Structure 1
Amino acid sequence: MDMIRFFMEVGNLKKLKRGGWLLDGIKNSETIADHLFRTALMVFILGKNARDVDLLKAIKMALIHDLGESQTGDLIVEDKVKIMREYGNNITEIENLRKENINIGLENDERERIEEVAVKKLTKLSGIDEIYSLWREFEDQKTPEALFVKQIDRLEMALQAMEYESENNDKILEHYFTSKYGAESIMKDPELVKLLRNIMSLRPKK
């Protein structure tokens, strides 16, 4: 166990950019830590009325679900890149993005394997086995908490996409809403569905 090193390692998340926004050419885009913070806050606020959800467990899961990316950088599977192209995105400068610790073109099982190794390393550093168990539970998507946090994860992404569309007149980020990796595809909770619709209603008309 080395708690100081653990906190330093996860501190990398404050510097590492979320890869999808870079692929979309968003300047000054959010870091992974930015995403984790607002996701956890949304879980805390919106989870109070969620059925069968252990709120404390869900908040902790939201905080650690991308923790492994402090070691790997953001991991983007090839299927997501294909979808972005199908939605008309002109993805360029792939090698430059790799220099930003964005790993592009992985298969789904490869992404999970790489991230699992990283989470196990962080779990060992912290001495807290719950970090790995919560991450594993989130990946398996079988419990009420995992399903709820995943929906909030996508909802936060949709909110960020709407904000970036509003800030960048030339950007249409439709795939964050309606593709199979978008928010609509996973939203089941009635309150979250309603909130997503409200977010989408705020998208600028282009």
Structure 2
Amino acid sequence: MPGDRLPGALEFLREAERLKSTLRSGFTSTGRPESTAEHTWRLCLMALVFADEFGDIDVLRLIKLCIVHDLGEALSGDVPAIMQTEGNSKSARERADLAVLTRSLHSEKRAEILSLWEEYEAAQTPEAILAKGLDKLETILQHIQGRNPADFDYAFNLGYGQKHTSAHPLLARIRTILDEETRARAEGSRAV
């Protein structure tokens, strides 16, 4: 990397660090709120673990899509899925925040990150379809695994992201397992 690009890259990385403190609606297994950075890390790990089962895909592209998919949340935070409504501006806000977040990067790197985010949002390429599905599955997995409040709505998970998690046979198989675990967790939370 040319030396004149280093300051901008470091500034971007400093700003992106905010994702470590951006909290989501899920909880870790120890009971503390999960950060968006933690969600992104495990999403990337899922992509790596299952990559061999996805057939002829570009694994590096899949992981890049996973890395940037929630990057814009570093500025305005996360909107929990249960609070999202049709026609809301979550996507537009995240795109605008990502444009601000990447402003210090060299124009080619900035364009690459924005393009990856747009590819993820459109979910038209095989890699973006998989990234979207894995994103939903990682969220459901965390909800099952987390130490959640007593009023946690496990039923929401049973319908969450169905379109994306049914887009590939492996995603659908994982979804079946997680739905069974969600039902068991919901039943267990009612028994307490």
TM-score of the superposed pair, with normalisation by structure 2: 0.79
Among 21, 25, 40, the alignment partner of 2:26 is 21
How far apart in 2 are the matches of 1:187 and 1:152? 7
Quickly say closer, same or farther: Cα 1:168–1:17, change in 2 above 3 A: closer
Q: Secondary structure at the match of 2:79?
A: strand
CA contact (8 A) 1:157 1:183 kept: no
**2:69 aligned partner:** 65
CA contact (8 A) 2:26 2:148 kept: no
Root-mean-square deviation (Å): 2.4
**2:79 aligned partner:** 75
Q: Secondary structure at the match of 2:115?
A: helix
Deviation >4 Å, runs of 4+: none
**1:175 aligned partner:** 156
Q: Which protein has the bigger helix share?
A: 2
Quickly say closer, same or farther: Cα 1:76–1:196, change in 2 above 3 A: closer
Quickly say closer, same or farther: Cα 1:184–1:109, change in 2 above 3 A: closer
Among 136, 144, 166, the alignment partner of 1:162 is 144
2:23 maps to amino acid = K
Quickly say closer, same or farther: Cα 1:168–1:133, change in 2 above 3 A: closer
Matched, 1:42 2:46: yes
Gaps of 5+ in 1: 82-104
Deviation, 1:49, is: 2.1
Among 105, 109, 113, the alignment partner of 1:126 is 105
**2:14 aligned partner:** 8
**2:172 aligned partner:** 193
Q: Secondary structure at the match of 2:55?
A: coil
Quickly say closer, same or farther: Cα 1:106–1:199, change in 2 above 3 A: closer
How many residue pairs get aligned? The number is: 172
TM-score of the superposed pair, with normalisation by structure 1: 0.74
How far apart in 2 are the matches of 1:145 and 1:168? 31
CA contact (8 A) 2:26 2:142 kept: no
**1:141 aligned partner:** 123
